[in-house]
């Protein structure tokens, strides 16, 4: 082991989190409607598989793009040989236009300020390298995406300090929570370099309110720190309130010529909105030219292939396609989410009201044997191994309250979702029956104990009376 680096031998990757362990159990016994109908249903994976037919249909109609041709002539050699870490100009232009379209064209983005990365994972880590030193800290509101423990910390050495949010106000960020997290970091002798939020939230499935965004801008202005807004789910907002980008708030407040303008950075990806995680297309958008230049150099360690950029530049430049895709995708997400919520309600389970994302934040506190994270893990194991559903426990998302779970709905078919809800309802019904039987047993024991004590007391009184005679 002495010949290996500390990074190799350390245990800070987070792979032992229940978030990843659930995936491992699923992979051992994956559900298949024909080949393995008793297997584990994957509801811990935030993939959008509801609209694959739309880009597939576009590819069928656009043979030149799919075949790497331009005006009928092959450009395969050109794409195979070209690899500039600045990215293809046509793709960067198409991507920023798509980002503006998602935001209702209320804001525009300069293609010269965007850096292409191999997914949002790479984008977030690159920003950590650009903005912080090893041992510095970023503040993150809880609950947050479990992968951040890996993405932000593992190779960079940056620390995460939680901003504790609670169900009492639907897990919204408050000024006291922000200040307490900042003070906690200082008590640990950590220099706070910024705040990172996901908007829409993973795992909550909610969009941030304007007053929360204003609060964040005021906070980073006062503390002179950075703000990273991970907006990877911005195109999944399927109901009101609509999505408000941090860039829109900056412009509405006319902050373009202020120092804070260059300390706000956006992370984006096509993994969720277009359902293309395997294409590994992410991006950093920053108004700080120094950050853009450094991140561009760093991007050479995780480039997006020229072939992928060419194909997607053609797809995203087709405004008829993007408009139709977004409209249909929103309807499908809303329909599937409604079916999940309805299925949960039939099982006697509630969830946080949501309007975005590929998952729901589900409240199973009433199913815990005690108000502890140990009880949450017991419940999670029963759901994975007995019910055979892989969901993510709130503790893996650093939730401060036991009993919350993230349940994904967009990576499975409508029929599979229906089966999952049937399994869950049967489980909840069995828990209720067992609890009732347990309570009845306790009550009967209590009655027996009361009668026994009464008899004992009566016998003792009778014996004393006999002795006195």
Residues with catalytic roles: 145, 230, 232, 272
- Rounded CA-CA distance 263/175 in Å is 20
Q: How far is CA 196 from the centre of its chain?
A: 13
- As given in the structure block, the two tokens for residue 323 are 């408009």
- Rounded CA-CA distance 181/175 in Å is 10
**How crowded is residue 75: how many other Cβ atoms within 10 Å of its Cβ?**
17
Helix locations, 369-413, DSSP H: 373-382
Contacts of 84 (CB under 8 A, 6+ apart): none
- Rounded CA-CA distance 221/263 in Å is 9
**What angle do the packed helices 319-346 and 306-317 form, to 10 degrees?**
90
Contacts of 86 (CB under 8 A, 6+ apart): 296
**How crowded is residue 357: how many other Cβ atoms within 10 Å of its Cβ?**
30
Q: Is 268 helix (H, G, I), strand (E, B) or coil?
A: strand
- As given in the structure block, the two tokens for residue 333 are 């997400």
- Rounded CA-CA distance 461/300 in Å is 91
- Rounded CA-CA distance 240/225 in Å is 31
Q: Scan for tokens 């499908």, then name that residue.
A: 332
Q: Are 351 and 362 in contact (CB under 8 A)?
A: yes
Of the candidates 339, 461, 466, the residue with the CA atom closest to the CA atom of residue 408: 339
Phi, psi (deg, nearest 5) at residue 279: -80, -15
Q: Are 107 and 279 in contact (CB under 8 A)?
A: no
- What letters, b where the CB count within 10 A reaches 16 and e where it falls short, cover 229-249? bbbbbbbbbbeeeebbbbbbb
Of the candidates 293, 280, 171, 291, the residue with the CA atom closest to the CA atom of residue 227: 291
- What letters, b where the CB count within 10 A reaches 16 and e where it falls short, cover 141-171? bbbbbbbbbbbbbbebbbbbbbbbbeeeeeb
């Amino acid at each position: 082991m002495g010949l290996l680096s500390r990074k190799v031998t350390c245990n800070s990757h987070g792979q032992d989190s229940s978030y990843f362990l659930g995936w491992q159990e699923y992979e051992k016994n994956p559900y298949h409607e024909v080949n393995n109908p008793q297997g584990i249903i994957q509801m811990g994976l935030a993939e959008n598989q509801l609209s694959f037919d739309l880009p597939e249909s576009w590819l069928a109609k656009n043979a030149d793009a799919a075949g790497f041709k331009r005006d009928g002539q092959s450009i395969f050699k050109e794409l195979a040989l070209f690899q500039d870490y600045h990215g293809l100009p046509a793709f960067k232009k198409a991507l920023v236009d798509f980002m503006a379209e998602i935001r209702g064209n209320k804001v525009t983005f300069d293609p010269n300020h965007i850096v292409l990365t191999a997914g949002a994972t790479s984008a977030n880590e690159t920003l950590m390298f650009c903005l912080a030193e090893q041992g510095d800290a970023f503040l993150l509101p809880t609950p947050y995406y479990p992968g951040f423990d890996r993405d932000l910390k593992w190779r960079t050495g940056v620390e995460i300090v939680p901003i504790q949010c609670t169900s009492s106000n639907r897990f919204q960020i408050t000024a006291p929570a922000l200040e307490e997290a900042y003070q906690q970091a200082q008590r640990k002798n950590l220099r706070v370099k910024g705040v990172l939020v996901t908007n829409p939230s993973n795992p909550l499935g909610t969009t941030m309110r304007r007053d929360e965004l204003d609060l964040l801008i005021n906070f980073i202005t006062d503390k002179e720190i950075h703000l990273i807004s991970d907006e990877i789910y911005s195109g999944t907002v399927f109901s009101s309130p609509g999505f408000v980008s941090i860039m829109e708030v900056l412009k509405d407040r006319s902050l373009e010529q202020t120092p804070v303008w260059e300390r706000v950075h956006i992370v984006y990806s096509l993994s969720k909105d277009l359902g293309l995680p395997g294409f590994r297309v992410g991006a950093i958008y920053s108004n700080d030219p120094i950050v853009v230049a450094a991140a561009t150099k760093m991007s050479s360690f995780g480039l997006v292939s020229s072939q992928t950029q060419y194909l997607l530049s053609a797809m995203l430049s087709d405004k008829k396609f993007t408009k139709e895709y977004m409209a249909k995708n929103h309807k499908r997400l809303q329909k599937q989410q409604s079916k999940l919520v309805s299925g949960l309600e039939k099982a006697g389970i509630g969830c946080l009201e949501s309007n975005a994302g590929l998952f729901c934040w589900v409240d199973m506190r009433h199913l815990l044997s005690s108000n502890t994270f140990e009880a949450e893990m017991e419940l999670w194991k029963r759901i994975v191994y007995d019910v055979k559903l892989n969901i993510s426990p709130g503790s893996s998302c650093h939730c401060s309250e036991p009993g919350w779970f993230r349940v994904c709905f967009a990576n499975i078919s409508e029929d599979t979702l229906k089966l999952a809800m049937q399994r869950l309802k049967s489980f909840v019904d069995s828990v209720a029956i067992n609890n009732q039987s347990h309570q009845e047993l306790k009550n009967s024991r209590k009655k027996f104990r009361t009668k026994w004590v009464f008899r004992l007391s009566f016998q003792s009184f009778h014996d004393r009376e006999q002795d006195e005679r």
